[in-house]
Structure 1
Amino acid sequence: MEINKYLDATYLKTAKQANLSEEANQQKVIDLIKEAILFDYKLVMIRSNYISLAKNILKNSGKKVLIGTVIGFHEGTYSIEEKLIEAEKAINLGVDELDFVVNYEAFKKGEIDTVKEEVRRGTEICLTNNKAVKWIIEVAALTNKEIVVISQLVKEIVFSVFGTDKASKVFVKSSTGFFKTQNNLPNGATFETMQLIIENAKPLKIKAAGGVRDYETAIKMVNLGVDRIGTSSSKAIVNKEKNNNSGY
């Protein structure tokens, strides 16, 4: 299995979050892009302010590494209009895939119409511009029942509004990797939560993100039915290393 082609190699920390200078943080992004070229990853997942930088580096690489960014990250509580403005800017910069954080707080409060509207409008702006869209549901913030319901909700909207053909460019994604859990509970993809998403969101594509840090786990996720893996441990995965570092 070419596990590298399943990987969205990820670096999403701001300079402040990483406790680095802007220059040093940018170098982290550059290093990730060069690593993606070397190992022929599927995609680099970066903040939108680095999209142009990534395009310039990838332009002459001879590799078809895609560029992804995040929308409404990481809390998901931005308004629909704010998310759409953010998405439009990223699209204009030439991004290939957009990972939206669902307003899971609104969902938990029962504000289902808000969630339906943002999924519909966010999916529309991406598909209209021939971009893939991934909906991050933040599994660590949800109960198993809520994971089932929101996965079904995204699937229902996508198929009823956009149809089977266009649905092939839509994913349900587990996590931001930034959610803070209590008592060191998992904050990202587990086999249990991914199974729930797969059972309730397929045939939409599925992305496991948050906590996939070694080759064995990555292979198990793919065998489970995952189509893409978001990770900051891509190199460890392709080199079949054990990686116990915390993070996305």
Structure 2
Amino acid sequence: MAEGAATLLETIERDTGADPQWSVLWLHGLGADGNDFVPILPELVRRDWPAMRFVFPHAPVRGVTINNGMRMRAWYDIRDFDLANRADEQGVMESVAQVGALIEREIARGIPASRIFLAGFSQGGAITLAAGLRRREPLAGLVGLSTYVPAAGSAGAALVEAAKSQPLFMGHGTQDPVVPFAAGEQSAAWMRQHGFEVEFHRYPMPHSVCAEEIRDLGDWMSRRLAAG
């Protein structure tokens, strides 16, 4: 884990203005890369927001068991379609450490943890939730889209008390064939039961994002930015 934390992932960065005072780390899904969510910025970013730095890391390339061992960008191996056994725990922890290293880089660049959002879609969302549970220095907020809490049966043991102060936005498609809607709903309930303030939205879509979801996320972020 220490080795993973020492190796900074390659990233794509987009600043919305000079001298950013806030950062957003956005984690893509399985088989995609950091380019995947760059196009949503014109839809998401509001004119009245302060200057922000969006950081889109590329996950490491690894073999994925359910895809016949094919090598692709993945935050962890997927061993089974069953959500309870889906996530490779060692891979999850390596990615949590690598994301932690990117957060530390933002802090070193002058953005405090309290002004950093961590967001992710699908696999990236699972890493967002796993990392969020462990945050001793709370972030401005967590965003999990079309995702689930990995290894929920044992995740509670990793929960840090300070982490509970991080607000969480979750969105999920009711027609999602990859991460079933029920799994997203149950994960939101799990986070609430463990002390998180969760705003959960459902959308009539498959395993994707939609304009309504980006609008709702923008509204939620606006409130967080105003509070910060």
The structure with more strand, counted as a fraction of residues: 2
The structure with more helix, counted as a fraction of residues: 1
The TM-score, its normalising length taken from structure 1, stands at 0.37
The TM-score, its normalising length taken from structure 2, stands at 0.39
